[in-house]
Amino acid sequence: MKLYFAPNSRAVRVAWLLEELELPYEVQKFSLGAREMREAPYLAKHPMGRVPALEDGEITLFESGAIVQYILAKYGKGRFVPEMQTAEFAAYLQWFHYAEGMIMPPMNTYVVETILLPPERRTEINVKRSVKLLGQMLTAVNTQLGDRNFLVGSDITAADFMTGHAVIMSHRFGIDMTATPNLLPYMERLSTRPAFIKADQL
């Protein structure tokens, strides 16, 4: 498998899973926003020129969540996914998709408005709204965690690779987490896993 990757991006989710499963993979590394991500050879792999994308033989796919589900279905041997007949499976799907559905949209706005746009084009109201929304999204994760170690069940699942990664990225971008105290030990649990450390340092 070949993973199209950039540090500090959603591609870490995929590398993290590949490391957890101890699967061999090759990495093509970009700097986020590099011109080659928008050139024809890479646009043939990902029409928006974004990361991650994955090649597996004849198959090429993008969208971090789809890639994670693909790898798990094909190579996961049941790991990191609750049994389909259990209630935990429904919760797993919900928290898996919460990352892209709920956390990343306000985080995108926050990053655009605080990092990517030149200062004269930033809008304070957009920053405030994204911080407020992110706070609401993270509060739901904080509540779900309560005193459990991971989002679903007693062990780590791919919902943590997705939503846990989004929580870690929110923290790294400077979102205040004093009102969501369960997130700090949760991030510590995730980010000290050897597989996360490897993926994060690619």
Ligand X SMILES: N[C@@H](CCC(=O)N[C@@H](CS)C(=O)NCC(=O)O)C(=O)O
- The footprint of ligand X (CB under 6 A) covers 9-10, 32-33, 37, 50-52, 63-65, 100
What is the C-alpha separation between 198 and 202, in angstroms, rounded? 6
Contact (CB, 8 A) for 72 and 79:
yes
Looking up tokens 């846990």 gives: 164
Least spacing, CB of residue 162 vs ligand X, in Å: 9
Beta bridge pairs of residue 94 = none
Q: Which residue has the closest beta carbon to ligand X?
A: 50
Closest CB to ligand X among 37 and 131?
Answer: 37
Closest CB to ligand X among 60 and 149?
Answer: 60
Least spacing, CB of residue 8 vs ligand X, in Å: 8
Least spacing, CB of residue 7 vs ligand X, in Å: 10
DSSP 25-43: -EEEE--TT-GGGGSHHHH
Closest CB to ligand X among 71 and 153?
Answer: 71
Contact (CB, 8 A) for 52 and 3:
yes
Closest CB to ligand X among 108 and 136?
Answer: 108
Least spacing, CB of residue 140 vs ligand X, in Å: 19
Question: 115 burial class (0-12, 13-18, 19+ CB within 10 angstroms)?
Answer: exposed
Least spacing, CB of residue 3 vs ligand X, in Å: 12
Given the DSSP bridges, would you call strands 2-5 and 26-29 parallel, antiparallel or unpaired? parallel
Question: 119 burial class (0-12, 13-18, 19+ CB within 10 angstroms)?
Answer: exposed
Least spacing, CB of residue 56 vs ligand X, in Å: 16
Closest CB to ligand X among 153 and 196?
Answer: 196
Closest CB to ligand X among 68 and 153?
Answer: 68
Please state, as a whole number, how many other Cβ atoms lie within 10 Å of the Cβ of residue 75: 14
The total number of residues shown for the chain amounts to: 202
